[in-house]
Structure 1
Amino acid sequence: MRNLLQTAFLAAGLSFIVPLSAQVKPGKGPDIPALTEGLQKYAKDLGNDFVVIVQKDGKDVYRKEFGELKATMQEPIGAASQWLTAALVMTFVEEGKLSLDDKLGDYLPIYQSYSKGYITLRQCLSHTTTIETDPPVFRTALKKKKFDTLEDEVNSFAKDRNMKGKQGTQFYYGNIGPNIAGRVLEVIAKKPFDRLMRDRLGKALGLRRTNFMSDGIYSESPSAGGKSSADDYIKFLSMLLNKGMYNGKQVLSENSVNEILKMQTANAQIVYASPLSQGNAYGLGCWLQEKDEQGNGILVNCPGISGTWPWIHKGKGYAAIVFTKGESPDQKRMIFEEIRELIEQHIPQ
């Protein structure tokens, strides 16, 4: 009897021990136990709190919450903001309100005044403006200089920065180009960038927790200031994978999606590329890790150093996101390559 009591107390005590790996919540959505077990090995690398969602044909084939982060929670998404910004620009293109090859001088006279008026929106979204820039800082809280508005910041690019060469000849990944493109949208629509994102992509996709609102310290940033949730961003990815369709509605035309996912940098010299994406080509606001002979993206992603790592694989027909807290450790490309391979090994083909 004494041994039985000791065994019972030992079992009860063990039930309160919390394992060091991320706690997996039951959550909603399909589970693949072998995939969940494999992902737990990367918990420390991902900051212990993360969400993984994989979709095919607009439906979840895998969804799991690890640690304390839920799929509905909003977090900063850093550089993954740029994919959304490119899509927002294409909504204006579809309406005939601008062309990707329009020149900045047509919308921002200050760029004409400082001999930068011939830069195009396409070059802004593909980081080939050749405007002198600093190494990118996609954690907005670390920005050294404060601008009250996006207009102030974009005007400073015209006044305070030199050209490093002819526009379109150099690729330098950073904040400048997407922020200029976002400012052009504000000029055309006479509305703040955040409002445009909500009114256009937000409403069309049902994005409840996605915005680019200023935090009162830094201005809105189309390049790095987005906040979203795993639930929201996977809707955007699913739309791209489904040729612009989401929930029975054509959010973007198939031509617009193809333009976003097509190589845009031509023969530009690569001066700086993100450590997460070196060797990849670039579309509009996204990296082409694999592409066909015509330069059309097959495996396309838009990772942030810390935050979210979204991608679509047109060849294998799935969209996926690994979503972490904004203050997670800086991510390593090798880790995400392993996670992507792990996902592809276990999801239905």
Structure 2
Amino acid sequence: MHAILLKMRFLFLLLLPVLAGSAQTKAPMVDIPAITEGLQKYQKDLGNDFVVIVQKDGKDVYRKEFGDLKANSQEPVGEASQWLTAALVMTYVEEGKIALDDKLSNWLPSFVSYSKGYITIRQCLSHTTGIETDQSTVKNLLKKKKFESLEVEMNALAKDRALQAKQGTQFYYGTFAPSIAARVVEIIGKKDYDRLFKDRISKNLGLKRTTFMSEDIYAENPTVGARSCADDYIKFLSMLANRGMANGKQVLSEKSVSEILKVQTGDAKIVYTSPLSQGNSFGLGCWLQEKDAQGNGTLVNCPGVSGTWPWINLSKGYAAVVFTRGNAPDQKRIIFEEIRELIEANIP
């Protein structure tokens, strides 16, 4: 018995540093009572379980978990996925391996075959491809049709969807255009999309719970298919708010961040926009709610029907995310506007 106890004690001493390190990785809650009291009235609207984190200069100024959801709980983030996708594409732009105005004909033969070769990477990330789309049809298609890879899915898209307008002339917010750009970087990077994201974004930001892998064997969805957690997504937002810097390294160049956060739709006619973002402009993978005279976003967000609502306010110098379980009731923009105003009235 004595020998067993000694072995157990030895194992405990070996594990003690690991256990201590694990305990230190959980960020402490940072409360501002006025914000917490104000948020409690929205608990039902947000599905009861949600997390709110606000950061300035990469440090928490407010962090609170409501209900059972934790800051490291992984949930679907819906349309907020495409902001992450735009960032990954820009890493290839920085290296000169691709240009935003490169045509798909340079990379995707199937798009050339079906008269879509003149669409550019920029148009894919800004929903101005001109490819026929419909919100209800696309959502049903995503539920019923499964593809074994992003390559197979994009080949089917090229074949099955006609051009309803000349590329660049219409803005139609849909659920597949950024995935076309994602397929291009798969070809360049010679790896599947999720692996590229982990190598180029997750590793540099320390994202531990963000993935584009589906829960089954089917293809990743770079437009609406990411799963993440509040801890991870706030790191991404703070990097953008800090002009591409995080953990002492330049994850994205200032030029890339500026490109993501400025108007990218040109003179395209607005045909369809998200009900959550009526009246907003669009950058690369994100909405510009407020912008300066040159079209640079100052208040930028990327809400999704999943319930996740991330944003950065450059004019006030902070980043924030309201993170839900992904099954919140129908989103109401007015609720998130009230939450943002509550936060801005009370953060230091």
Q: Give the aligned partner of residue 6 of structure 1.
A: none
Q: Give the aligned partner of residue 182 of structure 1.
A: 182
Deviation sequence 1:12-35 (CA, Å, 0-9, x none) = xxxxxxxxxxxxxxx823210111
Deviation (angstroms), 1:140: 9.4
Deviation sequence 1:214-248 (CA, Å, 0-9, x none) = 22254210001100000000000000000000011
Query: Tell me, what secondary structure is at the counterpart of 1:271?
Result: strand
Q: Give the aligned partner of residue 148 of structure 1.
A: 148
Letter in 2 for 1:324: T
Asked if 1:193 is matched to 2:193, the reply is: yes
Letter in 2 for 1:109: P
Deviation sequence 1:150-174 (CA, Å, 0-9, x none) = 1111111111111011100000111
Letter in 2 for 1:108: L
Query: Tell me, what secondary structure is at the counterpart of 2:135?
Result: coil
Q: Give the aligned partner of residue 56 of structure 2.
A: 56
Letter in 1 for 2:260: I
Q: Give the aligned partner of residue 97 of structure 1.
A: 97
Task: Give the alignment's Cα RMSD to 1 decimal.
Answer: 1.5
Distance 1:341 1:137, change over 3 A: farther
Whole-Å separation in 2 of the counterparts to 1:140 and 1:326: 18
Which structure dedicates a bigger proportion of its chain to helix? 2
Letter in 2 for 1:164: Q
Whole-Å separation in 2 of the counterparts to 1:38 and 1:138: 37
Q: Give the aligned partner of residue 11 of structure 1.
A: none
Whole-Å separation in 2 of the counterparts to 1:151 and 1:236: 27
TM-score normalized by the length of structure 1: 0.90
Structure 1 unmatched ranges of 5 or more: 1-26
Structure 2 unmatched ranges of 5 or more: 1-26
Q: Give the aligned partner of residue 211 of structure 1.
A: 211
TM-score normalized by the length of structure 2: 0.90
Q: Give the aligned partner of residue 77 of structure 2.
A: 77
Whole-Å separation in 1 of the counterparts to 2:31 and 2:275: 32
Whole-Å separation in 1 of the counterparts to 2:216 and 2:48: 29
Letter in 2 for 1:107: W
Q: Give the aligned partner of residue 122 of structure 1.
A: 122
Whole-Å separation in 2 of the counterparts to 1:137 and 1:31: 44
Whole-Å separation in 1 of the counterparts to 2:257 and 2:283: 11
Where has structure 1 moved over 4 Å in runs of 4 or more?
Answer: 136-142
Contact 1:138 1:224 in 2 (8 A): no
Q: Give the aligned partner of residue 265 of structure 2.
A: 265
Contact 1:140 1:218 in 2 (8 A): no
Deviation (angstroms), 1:134: 2.1
Distance 1:139 1:164, change over 3 A: closer
Q: Give the aligned partner of residue 300 of structure 2.
A: 300
Count of residues paired in the alignment: 322
Bigger mean CA deviation after superposition, 207-216 or 117-126 = 207-216
Deviation sequence 1:256-302 (CA, Å, 0-9, x none) = 00000010001101111000001000000000000001000000000
Report matched runs for 1:184-333 at 5 Å: 184-216=184-216, 218-333=218-333
Query: Tell me, what secondary structure is at the counterpart of 2:92?
Result: helix
Letter in 1 for 2:151: E
Bigger mean CA deviation after superposition, 147-156 or 332-341 = 147-156
Query: Tell me, what secondary structure is at the counterpart of 1:219?
Result: coil
Letter in 1 for 2:226: G
Whole-Å separation in 1 of the counterparts to 2:155 and 2:132: 14
Deviation (angstroms), 1:201: 0.2
Query: Tell me, what secondary structure is at the counterpart of 1:340?
Result: helix
Distance 1:138 1:300, change over 3 A: farther
Contact 1:286 1:301 in 2 (8 A): yes
Contact 1:75 1:307 in 2 (8 A): no
Distance 1:136 1:317, change over 3 A: farther
Q: Give the aligned partner of residue 336 of structure 2.
A: 336
Bigger mean CA deviation after superposition, 106-115 or 136-145 = 136-145
Deviation (angstroms), 1:177: 1.0
Deviation sequence 1:79-106 (CA, Å, 0-9, x none) = 0000000000000111111000000010
Q: Percent identity?
A: 72
Letter in 1 for 2:57: D
Whole-Å separation in 1 of the counterparts to 2:307 and 2:139: 9
Letter in 1 for 2:266: A
Q: Give the aligned partner of residue 9 of structure 1.
A: none
Whole-Å separation in 2 of the counterparts to 1:261 and 1:119: 21
Whole-Å separation in 2 of the counterparts to 1:302 and 1:217: 27
Letter in 1 for 2:163: M
Query: Tell me, what secondary structure is at the counterpart of 2:275?
Result: coil
